[in-house]
Amino acid sequence: MLAASLQCDLIRLQCYEGLDEAKALYEWEYAKQLLYTQILKDKINEVIGGARSLREAVDRIAREDNVFFSDRFILPRPLLRAITAEQPTVLLVDEIDKADPEFEAFLLEVLSDFQVSVPELGTLKAKHVPLVVLTSNNAREMSDALKRRCLHLYIDFPSAAQELEIVQLKVPEIPPRLAEELVHFIHRVRQLDLKKVPSISETLDWARALVLLNADALEEQLVQDTLNAVLKYEGDIRKAQEELKDYLRHRKTERHTRETDADKDLLH
């Protein structure tokens, strides 16, 4: 949404344990380089032809290094793509807390100056400084150096009304009653002591699953059969199953109250 509102391209770097510079910055396309050397074998033979020693042959090839280590053979990863982009971009570094502290230090160095050094190409500076957004789920504590360079924004779960709008926007085919009950139940589940609280994306996954099952309301057996779309741990599912019983009793009482009130109105 941010990139779209700014009319910028979005470049996303998904962080994970073991992410290194090569996967985040750039790699050389060795297979492509090897293919070119095979295709240009005759030309290479011309270059080293007449060399009086192995050293001289190596020196001649070394003088052609810039041919094979050029823009043609570099494979830019998200960080380099953001820095070398011809137009302003939004760089999303997603789930930075999943990356190792060493990568965090490397990222901090790159984003401090918005330039990188590629030994074969020199220093590449950002033509347009990207707008950088880092997300974290607090899997680990971020370094003070990184925190100091960021503006912090805590994003809580949306209200029930907001989440209902999201569900209806993303899953427009969902019946209105089902959407309301689903969101209401999800908000009750989030109040439980869970190992992993369901996110909005899991709410949407569940909504899509229920639509595929032609559901028009939350029924006990249906919820029991599909809770694993929302909750990923057995202990969490058991807690939600207990909450489901209470929710269904509460819903039944509400319906009975509404029906009683309606009957009274008719009598009057």
pTM of the model: 0.69
Instruction: Give 10-residue mean pLDDT values along the chain (268 residues).
Output: 86 93 88 82 74 74 72 88 91 93 87 84 87 89 87 90 96 95 94 92 95 91 90 92 84 63 54
Query: Are residue 10 and residue 122 in the same domain, yes or no?
Result: yes
> 172 and 257: one domain?
yes
> Does 129 reside within a domain?
yes
Domain final position from 124, 149, 174:
149
Asked if 48 and 61 count as a contact pair (C-beta separation under 8 A), the reply is: yes
Same domain, 100 and 197: no
Q: With respect to residue 65, please indicate whether it lies within any of the assigned structural domains.
A: no
Residue 34 lies in a domain: no
With left for phi above 0 and alpha for psi between -120 and 50, is residue 249 left, alpha or beta? alpha
Instruction: Looking at the structure, tell me whether residues 167 and 216 fall in a common domain.
Output: yes
Q: Which of 149, 178, 210 is the last residue of a domain?
A: 149
Residues 205 and 129 in one domain: no
Rounded to whole angstroms, what are the CA distances from 242 to 6, 21, 187, 199?
46, 47, 15, 20
Same domain, 15 and 136: yes
Structure confidence at residue 94 (pLDDT): 94
Residues 84 and 132 in one domain: yes
- Same domain, yes or no, for 168 and 118? no
Task: Indicate whether 20 and 135 sit together in one domain.
Answer: yes
Q: Are residues 169 and 103 in the same domain?
A: no
Could you list the residue range(s) of the whole structural domain that residue 226 is in? 160-266
Q: In the chain, how many domains are there?
A: 2
Structural domain contains residue 54: no
Where does residue 137 rank: exposed (0-12), middle (13-18), buried (19+ CB within 10 A)? exposed
Same domain, 190 and 251: yes
Kindly state whether residue 104 falls inside one of the protein's structural domains: yes
* 56 lies in some domain: no
Contact between 24 and 13 (Cβ < 8 Å)? yes
The reply to whether 22 and 134 lie within a common domain is yes
User: What CATH code is carried by the domain that includes residue 94?
Assistant: 3.40.50.300
In a domain, 40, yes or no: no
Question: Has residue 46 been placed in a domain?
Answer: no
**Bridge partner list, 27:** 75
Select from 149, 179, 202 the last residue of a domain.
149
